[in-house]
Structure 1
Amino acid sequence: MSQSYELTGTLKKLFDTQTFASGFTKREFVVEVPDGNYPQMIKFESVKDKIAQLDSLSIGDEVKVQFDIRGNEYKERFYVNLNAWRIERASGETSAAPAPSGGQKVNSSMDAAFDNEPDESDDIPF
Structure 2
Amino acid sequence: MPSDAYNSAEIAGTKSPSSPAGTCPLQTKEVGIIPVRYAIDPTMGTKGLFPLPEGGDWQPTFNINLPYTLRQLRDGWLYVYSKKQKVLHTYQIENAVFTAQHEGGTCAACLTYDSDDTLWLSYSHQRWTPRLIE
Question: TM-score range with shorter-chain normalisation?
Answer: under 0.3
More strand by share: 1
Q: TM-score, length-normalised on structure 1? A: 0.22
Structure whose residues are more often helix by fraction: 2
- Tell which has more relative contact order, 1 or 2 (C-alpha 8 A, sep 6+): 1
